[in-house]
Amino acid sequence: MATFEILDQLTKVADSSRLQDCMKVWFVQKRAEEKAFAGFLRDQCVGLRMTNSKNQMLIAKLEALGERGDVVRCLDHMREIVARDSVKLRVLEQLLVGTHVGIGLKDSYVADMEENEYGFMSPGILLLLSFHG
Protein backbone atom coordinates (compact mmCIF):
# COMPACT_ATOMS: atom_id res chain seq x y z
CA MET A 1 0.00 0.00 0.00
CA ALA A 2 1.10 3.53 -0.70
CA THR A 3 0.33 4.59 2.86
CA PHE A 4 2.88 2.17 4.27
CA GLU A 5 5.48 3.41 1.79
CA ILE A 6 4.85 6.97 2.89
CA LEU A 7 5.15 5.93 6.52
CA ASP A 8 8.40 4.14 5.82
CA GLN A 9 9.75 7.20 4.01
CA LEU A 10 8.67 9.48 6.86
CA THR A 11 10.34 7.19 9.37
CA LYS A 12 13.57 7.26 7.36
CA VAL A 13 13.44 11.04 7.01
CA ALA A 14 12.78 11.47 10.71
CA ASP A 15 15.53 8.94 11.43
CA SER A 16 13.32 7.40 14.05
CA SER A 17 11.39 4.19 14.38
CA ARG A 18 9.19 5.91 16.93
CA LEU A 19 7.61 8.44 14.59
CA GLN A 20 4.14 7.12 15.35
CA ASP A 21 4.73 7.64 19.06
CA CYS A 22 5.92 11.20 18.43
CA MET A 23 2.85 11.93 16.33
CA LYS A 24 0.55 10.52 19.02
CA VAL A 25 2.25 12.63 21.70
CA TRP A 26 1.87 15.72 19.52
CA PHE A 27 -1.87 15.14 19.00
CA VAL A 28 -2.42 14.40 22.69
CA GLN A 29 -0.57 17.59 23.70
CA LYS A 30 -2.49 19.71 21.19
CA ARG A 31 -5.77 18.18 22.35
CA ALA A 32 -4.90 19.04 25.97
CA GLU A 33 -4.03 22.62 24.97
CA GLU A 34 -7.33 22.97 23.11
CA LYS A 35 -9.26 21.57 26.07
CA ALA A 36 -7.63 24.15 28.34
CA PHE A 37 -8.43 26.88 25.79
CA ALA A 38 -12.03 25.65 25.57
CA GLY A 39 -12.31 25.84 29.36
CA PHE A 40 -10.98 29.40 29.29
CA LEU A 41 -13.45 30.35 26.54
CA ARG A 42 -16.32 28.71 28.43
CA ASP A 43 -15.45 30.70 31.57
CA GLN A 44 -15.26 33.93 29.56
CA CYS A 45 -18.65 33.22 27.95
CA VAL A 46 -20.27 32.56 31.32
CA GLY A 47 -18.78 35.75 32.78
CA LEU A 48 -19.88 37.82 29.80
CA ARG A 49 -23.41 36.38 29.94
CA MET A 50 -23.64 37.29 33.63
CA THR A 51 -22.35 40.81 32.95
CA ASN A 52 -24.83 41.23 30.11
CA SER A 53 -27.69 40.05 32.33
CA LYS A 54 -26.74 42.52 35.05
CA ASN A 55 -26.41 45.32 32.51
CA GLN A 56 -29.80 44.50 31.01
CA MET A 57 -31.39 44.62 34.46
CA LEU A 58 -29.73 47.99 35.03
CA ILE A 59 -31.04 49.21 31.69
CA ALA A 60 -34.55 48.18 32.71
CA LYS A 61 -34.17 50.09 35.99
CA LEU A 62 -32.85 53.17 34.18
CA GLU A 63 -35.73 53.03 31.70
CA ALA A 64 -38.15 52.88 34.63
CA LEU A 65 -36.73 56.13 36.01
CA GLY A 66 -37.97 58.03 33.00
CA GLU A 67 -36.57 60.77 30.81
CA ARG A 68 -34.08 62.52 33.07
CA GLY A 69 -30.99 63.95 31.39
CA ASP A 70 -28.38 61.99 33.32
CA VAL A 71 -30.37 58.79 33.12
CA VAL A 72 -30.80 59.03 29.34
CA ARG A 73 -27.06 59.46 28.80
CA CYS A 74 -26.26 56.50 31.12
CA LEU A 75 -28.95 54.44 29.43
CA ASP A 76 -27.44 55.07 25.99
CA HIS A 77 -24.00 54.05 27.26
CA MET A 78 -25.36 50.90 28.85
CA ARG A 79 -27.16 49.93 25.65
CA GLU A 80 -23.93 50.37 23.69
CA ILE A 81 -22.00 48.26 26.21
CA VAL A 82 -24.58 45.46 26.05
CA ALA A 83 -24.55 45.53 22.24
CA ARG A 84 -20.74 45.29 22.15
CA ASP A 85 -20.67 42.54 24.77
CA SER A 86 -23.27 40.59 22.79
CA VAL A 87 -21.02 40.74 19.71
CA LYS A 88 -18.04 39.59 21.81
CA LEU A 89 -20.11 36.75 23.21
CA ARG A 90 -21.07 35.53 19.74
CA VAL A 91 -17.41 35.56 18.67
CA LEU A 92 -16.33 33.70 21.83
CA GLU A 93 -19.05 31.10 21.30
CA GLN A 94 -17.91 30.59 17.68
CA LEU A 95 -14.33 30.12 18.91
CA LEU A 96 -15.56 27.65 21.50
CA VAL A 97 -17.43 25.62 18.88
CA GLY A 98 -14.38 25.61 16.59
CA THR A 99 -12.18 24.50 19.48
CA HIS A 100 -14.53 21.63 20.28
CA VAL A 101 -14.36 20.54 16.64
CA GLY A 102 -10.55 20.54 16.82
CA ILE A 103 -10.62 18.52 20.02
CA GLY A 104 -12.92 15.97 18.39
CA LEU A 105 -10.62 15.66 15.38
CA LYS A 106 -7.59 15.14 17.56
CA ASP A 107 -9.47 12.57 19.64
CA SER A 108 -10.33 10.62 16.49
CA TYR A 109 -6.74 10.82 15.22
CA VAL A 110 -5.41 9.48 18.52
CA ALA A 111 -8.04 6.73 18.51
CA ASP A 112 -7.01 5.79 14.95
CA MET A 113 -3.38 5.71 16.01
CA GLU A 114 -4.19 3.41 18.90
CA GLU A 115 -6.19 1.06 16.65
CA ASN A 116 -3.71 0.80 13.79
CA GLU A 117 -0.15 -0.35 13.83
CA TYR A 118 0.72 2.52 11.53
CA GLY A 119 -1.31 5.03 13.50
CA PHE A 120 -1.78 7.85 11.06
CA MET A 121 -3.13 6.22 7.93
CA SER A 122 -5.64 9.00 7.38
CA PRO A 123 -5.00 11.08 4.25
CA GLY A 124 -5.79 14.18 6.30
CA ILE A 125 -2.93 13.44 8.67
CA LEU A 126 -0.56 12.77 5.81
CA LEU A 127 -1.59 16.11 4.33
CA LEU A 128 -1.00 17.73 7.71
CA LEU A 129 2.48 16.20 7.81
CA SER A 130 3.29 17.57 4.39
CA PHE A 131 2.55 21.10 5.65
CA HIS A 132 4.50 20.72 8.90
CA GLY A 133 7.47 18.83 7.46
Number of domains in the chain: 1
Is 44 contained in some domain?
yes
**Residue 37 within any structural domain of the chain:** yes
Model-level pTM?
A: 0.61
**Is residue 14 included in any domain, yes or no?**
no
| Enclosing H/E stretch for 22 | helix 19-65
Distance CA 109, CA 102 (A): 11
The whole domain housing 91 covers 25-132
pLDDT tier, 4 (very low <50, low <70, confident <90, very high otherwise)? low
Q: For 19-73, what is each residue's pLDDT tens digit?
A: 677 777 778 888 899 999 999 999 999 999 999 999 888 888 877 776 666 677 7
